[in-house]
């Protein structure tokens, strides 16, 4: 079954299912991405912080696909929020990926406690990338509602996406709701909570009934809620299984039951965007 696309607020279509490469070692990345492309994925989510953009680029070059066949996302690293640093970092991303544009470029973290709390000038450089074509779309990641409100007040371009932690134990509803009210698509990172939801009783019961794995049911739940996902795996059978989720047949009640597993802040696995301030190196 074909992967559905979501139309972003600038008219660009993004495949709702992609492949994430966080925590894939550079030496394993080309093989993993080629595996994903051969399973049918046409959307790859990488970042400067992951240190594997070059190997993603090598996979794209050695596949028999055209550049335009694959939707490629990367993200501005935390050390490069100042405008000139961001411009240089973007050029490095394009060189490493071996392309003249990315399909989507994100501010990886807002870092409200760094750079005098100034993520606005960073966003204005992102607007520049969208205007000059180095990015077909620009967006943010790990932005809370107040961060998005500030961009709305002080900038021109509305982010196309906000990539945030979302999974059954952390459904992140307020951030998702702000996005859907303002034309910002939600991308759900760690969609299976890095495996943390796979033994859940409710998800297991639903998986047994529909004859799919708990990972497939969880990924199908995200798709039913309209979020964009890119599960990561270096295990070829899982890479293929995670792509085979469009016939899972969840009922509205299944979706509600999984959503009700939310534990609020207790379910968050990653850093809190209001306080996270890590700068690599
Ligand atoms: P995921 O929720 O995708 O989980 C990945 C883990 O689950 C791996 O350990 C993988 O193991 C395992 N796994 C994958 N599929 C299955 C399966 N079918 N059955 C059992 N286990 C499985 O976590 P990620 O944190 O990687 O999130 C996905 C992507 O989101 C990242 O790769 C990245 O692109 C993005 N991300 C963005 C962040 C941001 O700040 N913007 C933060 C975190 C992630 P194995 O590989 O060994 O098979």
> Which residues of the chain are under the pLDDT cut of 70?
none
Q: CA 88, CA 93: separation in Å to the nearest integer? A: 9
From the CA of 104, how far away is ligand 1's center (Å)? 19
β-strands 5-7, 13-15: how paired? antiparallel
SS3 113: coil
pLDDT at 258: 99
Q: Are 245 and 219 within 8 A, CB to CB?
A: yes
Contacts of residue 268, Cβ cutoff 8 Å, sequence gap at least 6: 165, 170
The CA 118 to ligand 1 mean position distance, Å, reads 30
Q: Is the CB of 240 under 6 A from ligand 1?
A: no
Active-site annotation holds for 50: yes
Closest C-alpha to ligand 1, atom 35: 189
- Cβ–ligand 1 distance for 233 under 6 Å, the answer yes
Q: Is 21 in the pocket of ligand 1 (CB under 6 A)?
A: yes
Answer whether 66's CB lies under 8 Å from 99's CB: no
pLDDT digits (tens, 9 = 90+) for 214-260: 999 999 999 999 999 999 999 999 999 999 999 999 999 999 999 99
Which residue, by CA, sits nearest to atom 18 of ligand 1? 238
Taking every pair of Cα atoms in the chain, the longest distance, rounded to a whole number of angstroms, is 54
Of 41, 50, 119, 178, which residue is the catalytic one?
50
Query: Could you give the CA distance from residue 2 to residue 245 in angstroms, rounded to a whole number?
Result: 11
Determine whether the shortest distance from the Cβ of 228 to ligand 1 is under 6 A: no
What is the C-alpha separation between 25 and 29, in angstroms, rounded?
A: 6
Ligand 1 centroid – CA 218 distance (Å) = 12
Ligand 1, atom 30: closest residue by C-alpha: 189
Ligand 1, atom nearest to 47 Cα:
34
C-alpha–C-alpha distance, residues 101 and 257, integer Å: 41
On whether the CB atoms of residues 262 and 255 are closer than 8 A, the answer is no
Q: What is d(CA 191, CA 32) in angstroms, rounded to the nearest whole number?
A: 18
Question: Is the C-beta atom of 227 inside 6 A of ligand 1?
Answer: no
Q: What is the pLDDT of residue 281?
A: 78
Give start and end residues of each alpha helix (H) in the chain. 26-39, 53-62, 83-97, 120-132, 145-154, 173-182, 201-210, 214-225, 236-243, 252-259
- Residue 163 near ligand 1, beta carbon < 6 Å: yes
Residue 124: CB atoms within 10 Å = 16
pTM across the whole model: 0.98
Whole-number Å distance, alpha carbon 194 to ligand 1 midpoint, is: 5
- Cα 19 to ligand 1 centroid, rounded to whole Å: 9
């Amino acid at each position: 079954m074909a992967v559905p696309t979501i139309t972003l607020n600038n008219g660009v279509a993004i495949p709702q299912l992609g492949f994430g490469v966080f925590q894939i070692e550079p030496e394993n990345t080309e093989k993993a991405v080629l595996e994903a492309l051969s399973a049918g994925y046409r959307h790859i989510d990488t970042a400067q912080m992951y240190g594997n953009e070059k190997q993603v680029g090598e996979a794209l070059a050695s596949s028999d696909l055209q550049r335009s066949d694959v939707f490629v996302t990367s993200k501005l690293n935390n050390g490069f929020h100042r405008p000139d640093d961001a411009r240089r970092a973007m050029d490095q991303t394009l060189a490493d990926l071996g392309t003249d544009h990315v399909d989507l470029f994100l501010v990886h973290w807002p870092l409200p406690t760094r750079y005098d709390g100034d993520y606005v000038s960073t966003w204005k450089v992102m607007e520049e990338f969208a205007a000059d074509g180095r990015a077909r779309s620009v967006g943010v990641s790990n932005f809370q509602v107040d961060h998005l409100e500030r961009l709305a007040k002080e900038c021109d371009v509305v982010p196309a996406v906000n990539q945030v932690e979302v999974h059954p134990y952390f459904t992140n509803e307020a951030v998702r709701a702000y996005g859907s009210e303002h034309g910002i698509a939600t991308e759900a990172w760690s969609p299976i909570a890095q495996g943390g939801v796979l033994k859940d009783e409710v998800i297991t019961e639903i998986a047994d009934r529909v004859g799919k794995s708990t990972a497939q049911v969880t990924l199908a739940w995200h798709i039913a809620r309209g979020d964009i996902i890119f599960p990561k795996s270096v295990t070829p059978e899982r890479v293929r299984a995670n792509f085979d989720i469009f016939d899972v047949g969840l009922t509205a009640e299944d979706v509600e039951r999984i959503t009700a597993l939310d534990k609020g802040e207790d379910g968050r696995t990653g850093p809190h965007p209001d306080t996270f301030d890590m700068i690599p190196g």
